[in-house]
Amino acid sequence: MSHVSGAGRTRADDIAGRAGSFVASPQRVGLASRWFLLLLGFLGVLVFVGLGIWQLERRVWKLDLIARVDQRIHAPVVDAPGPATWADIDAAGYEYRHVRLTGSFSGGANTLVQAVTELGGGYWVLTPMRDDRGFTILVNRGFVPQERKAEFQQESGPRSPAAVDGLLRISEPGGGFLRSNDPAANRWYSRDVAAIAKARGLTDVAPYFIDAGTSGADGWPRGGLTVVTFRNSHLAYALTWFALAAMLAIAMARPIFAGRRKRDAAR
């Protein structure tokens, strides 16, 4: 004897309906998963396109920076900034300015900073110079090879009036990529003006240093070796991000069009 539930529905009908719902639920889950994946893919395309646009904006900024630095290097020489402007000095506004110092080397100890140049491995020789306006500036007189290290490490800087033309450079605090400066051991891997001034007992020191230009002589230290280059790979990065966006968009579109073709073929 069959039991009736609801408006003429039997228990068997209820069981069949529930079974049908369980059979249909995987289809609904599959459809929801596809929509979720499509949403993720769409967001991924937006992110990749956004990163590509950001790289294009960075490229415009880098080209402007290169143009400004080139203009500074080839501009007429100006006096090195004095104490009144020290607080305003930063890389964006001052680095690579063509400047001149007039004064005398103070005879203070040289500081040798590890360097790799077109002449090979060796050291920059930094010597304090007293400007005629009453303050001290560290001058990177140039490069010496490894075999001349002892000679310049023992030598005190010259004591003579001098005029130095060169490029203003911003201090390099801390040290190199993997090694920190060690003032106590007199090991230097970057041209850290504040640390060098403290280690040498210098006062009234400008917060920058000067890379001396070439002297025209073949002796040591060898000036004029400043490398002024800026890596500018932003266009390649932008194209990479746009390509990833295009590939993801194509990967999303293929199953959609494939499903549409199947439906058209089934009609």
Return the minimum-mean-pLDDT range out of 1-10, 84-93, 122-131.
1-10
What's this model's pTM, rounded to 2 decimal places? 0.67
pLDDT at 66: 77
Contact 192, 173 (CB under 8 A): yes
Query: Residue 117: how many CB atoms within 10 A of its CB?
Result: 16
Q: In one letter, which amino acid is 145?
A: P
pLDDT at 13: 57
CATH of 97-212, one of 1.10.101, 3.30.160, 2.40.50, 3.30.1360: 2.40.50
Each residue's pLDDT tens digit, 37-72: 788 888 999 999 999 999 999 898 888 877 777 777
On the question of pLDDT at 138 being above 60, the answer is yes
Ranges assigned E (strand) in the chain: 4-5, 9-10, 78-79, 98-105, 111-117, 120-131, 136-145, 161-170, 205-212
pLDDT at 28: 58
Classify 106 as helix, strand or coil: coil
The C-alpha atoms of residue 113 and residue 159 are separated, in whole angstroms, by: 21
Each residue's pLDDT tens digit, 93-103: 898 999 999 99
